[in-house]
Structure 1
Amino acid sequence: MGEPTVTPLEGRDQALPEPVTATPRQRRLHRLRSPRRPRLWFEILLIAVSYWTYSLVRNAVPEQRAEALRNMDWIWRLEHSLGIAVEESVNHGVNSVTWLIVGMNYYYATLHFVVTLAVLVWLYRSHPGRYAATRLVLFATTAVALVGYYLYPLAPPRLMPGGDFVDTVMVHQTWGSMASGDLKHMSNQYAAMPSMHIGWSLWCGLTVFALAKLPWVRILGLLYPTATLVVIVATANHFWLDAVGGVLCLAFGFAVARVWYGTLPYALPRTAPPRGQGRPLLPTKA
């Protein structure tokens, strides 16, 4: 009774010294794996260079039209056999409402980048200890997607020969896809599998849901990838199974972060220790 109690600050590690039994190699690896406060200039440069590299590599993948169309035919037949080939109905249904499909065209063209950057900025400012690990998930997801573009070229539904899909950007003259209209020569049209619109939006949604405090913001986090799924199908830019590919890539990204940091990014401390310090190492066995 009367003794003061000490409560650790939320989201902070206990300040324990590193054990002297750790080897130099363990110490170096520990520093690399420890959450650190991100540097703004480095993050801006890293994101800019990474996106430039992603675009360069994605568009450098050979546009294998014949193989992309064969893969599209296989995907379409598989979806029919699974009873989920309703993309055409969704495409026509939404296209009949002009204001809705035009809005979806602009959604497809802009929010993919805007929301992802907004979540990165929020993480940087509010969750610096989790920023690097969560960013690693996004980067690993995108990297494995590039492998998918190379190994499995796939044409989007709007390019189906003899199909009845509506290219909503062409029809409504909106800037809704880098692979439609006058901009189609600037982007690889046969890089539909996996869908990074789903990979990135689900990364945003899970991050917001896991870390946001306000219930309505967390709900919005879950609604964002759901709305994105409807948009990519309604605009005839992706099949349902492209979205599955995006989910699998994101799972790979989380696995990479889990292996590197030893835990999921959201379980790391919210704040990061000063640079040069890290989480305490476990003592080595004698």
Structure 2
Amino acid sequence: MSDSTVTQQEGREEVAVPGAVTGEYRRGPLGRLRRPRRPRLWFEILLIAVSYWTYSLIRNAVPEQRGAALRNADWILRVEHELGIAVEQSVNHAANSVNWLIVGMNYYYATLHFVLTLGVLVWLYRWHPGRYAATRLTLFATTGVALVGYYLFPLAPPRLMHGGRFVDTVMVHHTWGSMASGDLKHMSNQYAAMPSMHIGWSLWCGLTIFALASVPWARVLGLLYPVATLAVIVATANHFWLDAVGGVLCMAFGFAVARLWYGDLPYLLPRRVPARAGEPVRQSA
């Protein structure tokens, strides 16, 4: 079915979304679930809170296999040396030599991971309600499949490896907020480093901003965010480069799940959905 254009009285054009997206061809309970719909604030707050609590509970319930995690870290480092990409130690020591830089990176690692992800969810809810559920599903599927990696491949971050090759920048500079510092380290699985959800979540944020933001500088910042996050997780010795690759693969899985469920990529769904059942779904051109 081709798009049809409807001219509004005020002169603005809107494009009716094809039936494959609006749900014209989706009937029955399952079809209604797969149809883009207006999100409800109370439900989304509850869903995000419960989902993150469940994720944290499962992540921290994975046995902290210290011996296996350290052996896997040694193996990862050997593989990276063979590939010629084992620059983590150099980056870690170089960043640690500049006090203001590494302290800023520590706080970046501890805060933006949560703050910016929640900020993008709020922005989607307010300005892209028709795309919100599918984009949120991408994030949830990305995070969910990461749990499999934590269980099957326990991995110590570089900062916890034997031999003192890496500087634990949080402990050295006494910065707060990280799950690797203070009493929080006893509440978080320290050997759940592969895949890196700092990369998974930052890539989700960056791609979402790049795809949907209308301001050019915001789109550029969206692309720079996961790049900056990659530099931070390596400089603070919280992850290897290959942990980031794992995060990217999880994100690809998340997009595949959303694509299969909604029939299209989240960013290609209609921006807005009808307020009442039966109202035509239209999207601004």
Scaled by the length of structure 1, what TM-score is found? 0.90
- Which runs of structure 2 are paired with 1:152-163 in the superposition (5 Å)? 152-163=153-164
1:86 and 2:87 are equivalent in the alignment: yes
3-state SS in 2 of match to 1:108: helix
Per mean C-alpha deviation after superposition, the further-off stretch among 179-188 and 111-120 is 179-188
Aligned equivalents of 2:103, 2:113: Cα separation in 1: 16
Q: Which of 13, 17, 25 is matched with 2:17 structurally?
A: 13
Identity within the alignment, %? 79
Shift in CA distance, 18/151, structure 1 to aligned 2, threshold 3 Å: closer
* CA positional deviation for 1:277: 4.6
1:127 and 2:128 are equivalent in the alignment: yes
Indicate conservation of the 8 Å contact 2:170/2:181, yes or no.
Answer: yes
3-state SS in 2 of match to 1:193: coil
Q: Which residue of 2 aligns with 1:192?
A: 193
- Which runs of structure 2 are paired with 1:48-127 in the superposition (5 Å)? 48-127=49-128
5+ unaligned residues in a row in structure 2: which ranges? none
Q: Which residue of 1 aligns with 2:170?
A: 169
1:249 and 2:250 are equivalent in the alignment: yes
* CA positional deviation for 1:279: 8.2
Which one has a bigger Cα radius of gyration?
Answer: 1
Q: Which residue of 2 aligns with 1:284?
A: none
Question: Over residues 150-187 of structure 1, what are the superposed CA-to-partner deviations in whole Å (9 max), with x where a residue is unaligned?
Answer: 11100000011014100001100101521234421111
Q: Which residue of 2 aligns with 1:207?
A: 208
Q: Which amino acid aligns with 1:126?
A: W
Aligned equivalents of 1:172, 1:18: Cα separation in 2: 54
Indicate conservation of the 8 Å contact 1:35/1:273, yes or no.
Answer: no
Scaled by the length of structure 2, what TM-score is found? 0.90
Q: Which residue of 2 aligns with 1:139?
A: 140
3-state SS in 1 of match to 2:27: helix
Query: Higher RCO, 1 or 2 (CA under 8 Å, sep at least 6)?
Result: 1
Indicate conservation of the 8 Å contact 2:6/2:16, yes or no.
Answer: no
Indicate conservation of the 8 Å contact 1:36/1:275, yes or no.
Answer: no
Indicate conservation of the 8 Å contact 1:204/1:221, yes or no.
Answer: yes
Q: Which amino acid aligns with 1:79?
A: E
Q: Which residue of 2 aligns with 1:31?
A: 32
- CA RMSD, Structure 1 to Structure 2 (Å): 2.2
3-state SS in 1 of match to 2:7: coil
Q: Which amino acid aligns with 1:68?
A: A
Q: Which residue of 1 aligns with 2:219?
A: 218
Residues matched between the structures, number: 272
Aligned equivalents of 1:215, 1:50: Cα separation in 2: 33
* CA positional deviation for 1:272: 1.0
